[in-house]
Structure formats: C-alpha cells, structure tokens
Amino acid sequence: MKKLNNRLENKFKQLREHNEKALAAFLMGGDPEFNVSLALCEAAIEGGADILEIGVPFSDPLADGPVNQKAARRALDKGINVNHILDMAEHLRGKYKNMPIVLLLYFNTIFQFGVPAFKEKAISKGVDGLIIPDLPLEEKELLAKEEDISEPIFVDLLATTTEEKRMENLAKKARGFIYCVSQAGVTGMRENISPEIFSTLQRLRKFTSTPLLVGFGISHPEQARHISKEADGVIIGSVLVKEIENNEQNFERLPLLVRSKVKEFKEAIS
C-alpha cells in the first residue's frame, strides 16, 4: 500500500526544489514553563527553523547530555507531562499549518500512555514525526507496520558505528529523514565534530534518497555550514537550550535570543 506524504516529507520536497538545506531546532517542551516554552517554539519557527523538534521531558533521558537533562528536570518540576506537550503541538499546528512538528521522547512514555492511544492522539494534535532514542530498529514494529500509511512518521537514528548491513536495512525502510548522530555519546555542545560523520553520510547515500540530518554536538554556525555541505541539513538543540539555562531569571529576553540564534544557524546553511 502506498504511503502518504506528510508535512515532514513535503517540507523536504520543497527544500530540495529550492536547493536549500534543512534546519531542525530542538527545544525541551515546558522548559522553563509552559507559556514561555510555547513562545520559544514560536520564536524558533519565526527565526527560520524548517522543522520544530519538541522534547517530551523524561526522568531518565539516556541519550541526553547535561544541558538537556537539566531542561527536562526544570520542565518536570513545573509538572509538565506528555499531555502538555501534545497540547503545545496542537496550539502550534493551529498557528503554523504547514510546519513539521516532531516529538523526541522515550518509549516508556508511549508505553505508559498506551501505544494505540498515543498514536491516535499524536495524529489528532498535528504531530508529524516521532524520534524515540531508546527504540531499536528491531522493535520499531511495536509502533509502525510496513503497511501503515498513517502519520506520524517514526524517524530512525543512526550512529557512525553502525555496521553496513544494519545501515542498509534501516536506510531502505526510513521515512521523513534519518537522524545521523555525529559521534558516540550523548547530546551536548562540542567544539569539534568527528570527521567520521562524513564517511557515514557517504555510506548511507548508497542505500537511500531519504534526507540525512546530522545532530548531537553542533554548537557553532560554522560547524553547521561545514556539515551541511554533505548532509541535507542539521539539528541544533543544546545550543538553544543553553540560552534558557543562562537566562532562567530573565524570561522576557528568551524569545529574542532563541529567534536570533536560529536565524544565525539558518543563514549559515543557506
């Protein structure tokens, strides 16, 4: 059965038609509080993000480094849960009809909610994709069947250490985009990006035309520019979340800071 395009896939089609690279911006949902977080998501979109990635706060985020872990804790301390994040997505969908919205969350959150119920609610709220760092490829069928044409898309993560056959298997089934992890470890800002990511991208190109976005550690616009020469785009997160941590007592400045930072990275890859 033919799969249907969604806003995420349509966005990449538009970007390719204009020979543009994609910028995905990650923010932890509910950090530092619900209304401010919502304003920051809007600021990221207004700053030029092509894809908005919202983190669902979780108490044990294994793939996240210290910056995002602190952000998750700040949100949890405010009582934020997955329902709040879905409400946030619904609000943003009402204002930005064609903006791809992706949630990053851990499988336990979905399991506790109930897999069918979560999928149904995510679709109804306007979510286009899910990134689940702790869900291996082999268990992906728990959430998505081959013949499933409904949204949201389940975005796969792939590391530079992935062996060839597994890479081929993942790449051939991928939809939306493949989240290429720049180097081993957790999220967080880094001064240097491992050159292995470039050979990984070249290997992947043999198996798929699905867009390849690189994340984990992209901290400077020059890094984004360099990586986007080979990738279809980049994902930034900790560099934005750190602005929230640094200005936790001055919420009024945050939307401007986030908008400016996103604009800086988008211009670097344009």
Which positions are annotated as active-site residues?
53, 64
Cα→Cα distances 61→95, 127, 165, Å: 30, 21, 28
- The separation between CA 255 and the C-alpha centre of its own chain, rounded to angstroms, equals 19
Residue 237's nearest CA partner among 217, 255, 221 is 217
Calpha distance 149→159 (Å, rounded): 27
* Residue pair 113/64 in contact by the 8 Å Cβ criterion: no
Calpha distance 42→85 (Å, rounded): 14
The answer for residues whose C-beta is within 8 angstroms of residue 20's C-beta and 6 or more apart is: 50, 270
Buried b (16+ CB within 10 A) or exposed e, 84-110: bbbebbeebbeebeebbbbbbbbbebb
What token pair was written down for 188? 């967080």
The answer for residues whose C-beta is within 8 angstroms of residue 79's C-beta and 6 or more apart is: none
DSSP 129-146: EEE-TT--GGGGGGT--T
